[in-house]
Amino acid sequence: MSRGQYPSTRMRRNRMTAFSRRLVAETRLDTADLIWPLFVIEGQNMAEPIDAMPGVFRYSIDQLLQQAAKAVELTIPAIAIFPSIDAALKDASGSLARDGDNLVCRAVSAVKAAFPDLGIICDVALDPFTAHGHDGLLDGDEILNDETITVLCEQAVHQANAGCDIIAPSDMMDGRVGEIRAALDASGHHNVQIMAYAAKYASGFYGPFRDAVRAGASLGKAGKLTYQMDPANSDEAMHEIALDLAEGADMVIVKPGMPYLDILARAKAEFGVPCIAYQVSGEYSMLCASFEKGWLDRERTILEATTCFKRAGADAVLTYFAPEIAMMIRR
Ligand code: PBG
């Protein structure tokens, strides 16, 4: 196709008026693109601020219900619930993950009972429950793959029993998606979806989240480098995604978000499956810090970042800004 040249072609013509900019926009945000991650704690009538994430709170279940109501009212399709567990209840093997009456399961049932049409997503990983903060079981310094999967399967089934719609394995053990799929199917949950954290990188951008769930202060020298991906790699992410899809993942997550848009774009182009971006805690806090300083314009920057996720190939975005974005879209 031959395209004209200046002066007959002027790229700026289409940009001159607001109506025209709207007409030619290739990407549009909708509240249907949003997933809102929320933190839950034990107690009553609690909304505990998280130091490293201004404007984000840990809610007791009664308060979580108010937030879920807000999600419904703002037509946000789904929330992701993360438990913040008392240190006294954590142990080396994350036993509480195997308890079908644990905090996250109770939170899921309460939200499901009150708002049956709101999608609920739960992480599958042991880090909220282990004293060391790793996503799996340890033998010395090694995070055990196969032994961990057994526990993850149990955790997933408990969460599905509680009413979780989408199981999101975020642990990065090899082969866990297939095993979790089989465990869900065997327990009558063949319609429960799996949103795999397929390309999950060992990232410094998770720092504030670990404050939020009070995990990860004692990860050791290698941190999560032996199971989460090296930020230097891209082909490897495609390999991870291919495996998770082959094992039965219904959707895949690329995480973190903004520094990894190239991975997201490749994932969408190469696989054509539902791709979800996670704008993680560090991205959230980084932006909030700049807003506080007056260095960035809050609404404009939030909308731009979200639009860019969609442009790069995301079908939806996990973002702590979800309710704020939904309010902006609706007005
Ligand atoms: C747990 C998990 C993490 C995040 C989501 N699930 C932290 C980690 O892997 O260390 C990070 C989310 C965020 O930073 O917003 N496996």
Q: What is the pLDDT of residue 2?
A: 65
Closest CA to 29 of 68, 75, 70: 75
Is the separation of the CB atoms in 282 and 256 below 8 Å?
yes
Please identify which of the residues 70, 90, 112, 200 carries the catalytic annotation.
200
Please state the atom number of ligand 1 nearest to the C-alpha of residue 205: 14
pTM of structure: 0.97
Centroid of ligand 1 to alpha carbon of 22 (angstroms): 36
How confident is the model over 93-117, as pLDDT tens digits?
Answer: 999 999 999 999 999 999 999 999 9
User: In the CATH scheme, what architecture does the domain 27-330 have?
Assistant: Alpha-Beta Barrel (3.20)
Ligand 1 neighbour 33 (Cβ under 6 A): no
Is the separation of the CB atoms in 314 and 276 below 8 Å?
yes
2 is written with which tokens?
Answer: 């031959």
Please identify which of the residues 90, 224, 255, 310 carries the catalytic annotation.
255
Ligand 1 neighbour 125 (Cβ under 6 A): yes
Residue spans of the domains in the chain: they are 27-330
Ligand 1 neighbour 148 (Cβ under 6 A): no
How confident is the model over 251-306, as pLDDT tens digits?
Answer: 999 999 999 999 999 999 999 999 999 999 999 999 999 999 999 999 999 999 99
**Percent of the chain's residues with pLDDT above 70:** 99
**Does the structure show a pLDDT above 90 at 221?**
no
Q: For a pocket test of ligand 1, which of 280, 281, 318 has the largest count of ligand atoms closer than 8 A to its C-beta?
A: 280
User: What is the CA angle 57-291-265, rounded to 5?
Assistant: 85
Centroid of ligand 1 to alpha carbon of 212 (angstroms): 10
Cis amide leading into 7 (omega within 30): yes
Ligand 1 neighbour 123 (Cβ under 6 A): yes
Q: Residue 69 CB: number of other CB atoms within 10 A?
A: 14
Q: How far apart are CA 306 and CA 319, in angstroms?
A: 9
144 is written with which tokens?
Answer: 């055990």
In the residue annotation, 310 being an active-site residue is answered as: no
Ligand 1 neighbour 126 (Cβ under 6 A): no
Please give the full DSSP string across 158-174, using - where no structure is assigned: HHHHHT-SEEEE-S--T
Is the separation of the CB atoms in 305 and 258 below 8 Å?
yes
Is the separation of the CB atoms in 195 and 122 below 8 Å?
no
Q: pLDDT-based confidence at 249, cuts 50/70/90?
A: very high
